[in-house]
Every structure is written in structure tokens, then in C-alpha cells.
Amino acid sequence: MKGPSWSKQPSFWRLGLGLAAFFGGSCWLFWHLERDQGLLKSPLDVLYWWVTTAATVGYGDITPRTQGGKALVILVVVAGVTVVATAAARAGSYILQQRLLQLRGLGRMDQLSGHTIVCGWSDDLDGILESLVTYGPTSRADHIVLVSGQDMDRLSALQNRPELAGLHVIAGDITKAADLERAGAARAAMALVLADEGDPAPDSRTLLAVMAFRQLNKEAHLSAEVREQRFVRYVKDAGADELIDPGAFRRAMAAQILVSPGMGNVFYDLLRFDKGAFFGFEEIPGGLIGQTFADLERRYLDREGVMLVGLVENVGSPLQIKREALREAQKTPDVSHLVNRLREAKQVQPHHPVLCPPAGHVLKPRSLAVVVKRQQENPA
């Protein structure tokens, strides 16, 4: 269901065109009738007269002296009362309709761009949204749109949390392009698809949601949560840039703790922004692109509270990265190597981590440094 739009209502256009014609015609006629009476010195005087007369304010400092001018004033006053009242009523009705649609999750996010969309539902969704507001790229709840098929009582409860004031909600199906379109998916910068814990087949819905989102937006960074390992490949092939696999995390963490007791505490601290240290990305100085990882390491030797641990390569829009890789592959003069270069270009992994690379590893464009930063102490 789409909310009403002024631009799509013929009555609104008729009202606007009629008002413009009446305004232009009455101003011209008043100027023609009264310009020789010493009242009007410029077109601004005519505009001033029309506004005060149509709004029925009538200051009286510009009053008609001709019979035609007086008749025109009567017409403008009568029409002004009707037009202003009609315009005010329509504006109020439109605003009220939009507000009601927003409260019911049926509105449209036409005013948003570069925002974050969260699709689905999770028992700890409030914590996820609060983390996005606190540590996300915008740190603003009004730049986040939640799309979910949950009942409005649960969705409204999220909106009413002080930490999430301004959160936008779309009540709809995350697998339908029409509902994602209402969320402004085509203009979003990031999206997260959660595996709905109440769904009997959450990964199937995640797969469909990723496909629906990619129909609308091929550039945004899209992350998706999967529960079963067999869906990892399918969701990745559908267009997800990154996967959240709680099962794989749990298995890896269990193994790490058994092999190295205490490692769980280390990972727990590193994955939280409010603990002693956390993982982060930093830009690589442009002058170092094309040099080696050893050169980058030397830059970090004297930095306090920051430790370089690796790189993440091919950062940015996956579609753009693959296009650039294909263009570079086609530049090779050796035809015998062209096929291999094209195959390698298609296998480029966006946001590919390279941890603890060898000293001679060449720093490529579109790379970021992976660092561990010490959390800054809060001033007393």
C-alpha cells in the first residue's frame, strides 16, 4: 500500500493551477485598473495588496479608487476565503494522513537517502539498533529504517525507546520489493537482513530478501544473517557482501577456548566498542599504495594505542570493484593470459581480509589497514 502523494492527486494540481491563474489574472487586472491612481509604484505593491486582501487581513494602506478595482477586491476577498480555507484543509488532511500511515508502518521513506535499512526481527533487535545508533556511520536513529512483518505494538515499542527516538518503521514483507521500495531501498547506503527467529524457514526468507533488495539497489553494502551452513553459498551468490553466521562463530569460539583458555574473553573485549580495545579500520596513506606491508608497519611503530594486524582489500561497492577488475584484465596485451586475468577478476572478493600478511605483500588500491585500537579513557 502506498501513501497518498500530492503530486499524484489531480485535485491538488487543479487547485494549484487554479490558484496560480487567479493570482496572476487578478494581479494584472488590479495593476491595469489602479496604476494611474498613484497607489502602485512597483509590482511588489501589487503582490503586497493581493496577499493582504486574499488573506482577508486588509491593512487598508492600498485601497482601490476605481469601480472596477473595488469589484475586484470583493472578488479576491470572497475567493481568498474559499481558496485559503480549502488549501489549509487539504494540507492538514495530507499531513494527518501521512502521520497515520507512518504510525501504522504504511508510509514511504521518500525523504531519506544514504540511510541504513534493517530487515527482519530478532529478540535482541533493540540492542542491535542501539549499537547502530551509538557506533554506526550516522549515529542517528532517524537515519535507520526497520522493515518487519511484526505487529505494530512490538514495532511501536521500539520507536518509543528514548535511545531509538526517530526510528522509521515499515510494516511489510522483507521479501517483497514493493515494501523494500517504501523503505527507500534504492537510495540506501547499507542494509542488514536478520534471520527471523520466529520463522520456520528463516534462511529461505533471508535469501529471498537479499534477492529482492538487490533488484532495487546493486551498490549498497548488504549484510545478511544465516543459520544453516548450506545457505551460505546461496545467500552469497544472491548478492550479500558479508554474512553473519552465528553457528560458525559459536563453533570457532568453542574451539578457540578449548585450545587456548581465556581466548573467549579476548574476543569478547575486541568485539565491543566500550571495552579496553576494539578492532577498527584506518585509511592507508596514498603515498604507500604500491609499496609493501613492511613500509606500512614502519608507520605504526611509533603510534601509541594502535597496533597494525593486517589489511582488508577490495573495499567499496562490490559491483564497481568487479567492473574495475574486469577493465584492468582487458588491458593485458597478451591474449593467452586474457582468459586467466578475466577469471581472476570475476573471483575478486570484496572486503577481503588479509591478516598478518608477509612483509613483501604489496599494498593495493581500495585497501584499509586493520588495527586494534585502545579505547580512549573518558575524561573525569
- Quick one: average pLDDT of 319-347? 69
- How far apart, in whole angstroms, are the C-alpha atoms of residue 283 and residue 263? 28
Give 363's pLDDT tier (boundaries 50, 70, 90): very high
What value does the mean pLDDT take over residues 116-123? 92
Place 376 in a pLDDT band, splitting at 50, 70 and 90.
Answer: low
> In this predicted structure, what is the pLDDT of residue 288?
93
pLDDT surpassing 50 at residue 95: yes
Percent of the chain with pLDDT over 70: 84
pLDDT band at 146 (very low <50, low <70, confident <90, very high): very high
Mean pLDDT comparison of 24-33, 145-154, 305-314, highest-scoring range: 305-314
pLDDT at 263 over 50: yes
pLDDT range class, residue 5, cuts 50, 70, 90 = very low
Higher pLDDT: 328 or 308? It is 308
Least confident of 45-54, 173-182, 369-378: 369-378
Give the total residue count for the chain: 380
Torsion angle of the four alpha carbons 264, 269, 273, 277, in this order, in degrees rounded to the nearest 10: -140
Predicted local distance difference test score (pLDDT) of residue 60: 74
Q: Using the predicted structure, report yes or no on whether residue 49 has a pLDDT greater than 50.
A: yes
Q: What is the pLDDT of residue 84?
A: 67
Q: Kindly write down the DSSP assignment for every residue of 312-380, as one continuous string.
A: EES-S-HHHHHHHHHHHHTT-S-HHHHHHHHHHHHT--TTEEEES--TTPBPPSS-EEEEEEEPPPPP-
Q: Catalogue the long-range contacts made by 236-241 (C-beta closer than 8 Å, 24 or more residues apart).
A: 238/207, 238/210, 238/211, 238/214, 239/210, 239/211, 239/213, 239/214, 240/193, 240/210, 241/318, 241/350, 241/351
- What rounded mean pLDDT belongs to the chain? 83
Confidence at residue 8, expressed as pLDDT on a 0 to 100 scale: 47
pLDDT at 210 exceeding the cut of 80: yes
Domain boundaries, the chain: 6-103, 116-244, 263-374
Please give the share of the chain, as a percent, with pLDDT higher than 90: 29
pLDDT tens figures, 238-251: 989 889 988 888 88
Q: DSSP class of residue 207?
A: H
Of 65-74, 80-89, 95-104, 210-219, least confident by mean pLDDT is: 95-104
At residue 118, the pLDDT reads 94
pLDDT band per the 50, 70, 90 thresholds, residue 4: very low
Q: Is the pLDDT of residue 371 over 90?
A: yes
Question: What is the mean pLDDT of the segment spanning 152-169?
Answer: 87
pLDDT of residue 100: 65
Give the CATH H-level superfamily of domain 116-244: NAD(P)-binding Rossmann-like Domain (3.40.50.720)
CB contact at 8 A, 221 and 314: no
For the chain, where are the E strands, in sequence order? 116-119, 144-148, 168-171, 190-193, 221-225, 242-244, 277-283, 306-313, 352-355, 368-374
The third-level CATH classification (topology) of the domain covering 6-103 is Helix Hairpins (1.10.287)
Confidence band for 1, pLDDT divided at 50, 70 and 90:
very low
pLDDT of residue 134: 83
pLDDT band for position 159 (cuts 50, 70, 90): confident
- Confidence at residue 26, expressed as pLDDT on a 0 to 100 scale: 86
For residue 39, is pLDDT > 80? no
- Greater confidence (318 vs 76) lies with 76
Confidence tier at 335 by pLDDT (50, 70, 90): low
pLDDT at 342: 66
pLDDT at 12: 60
pLDDT confidence of residue 341: 65
- Crossing angle of helices 67-103/43-54, nearest 10°? 60
Q: What is the pLDDT of residue 250?
A: 85
Q: Give 223's strand partners.
A: 192, 242
What is the pLDDT, as a whole number, of residue 22? 81
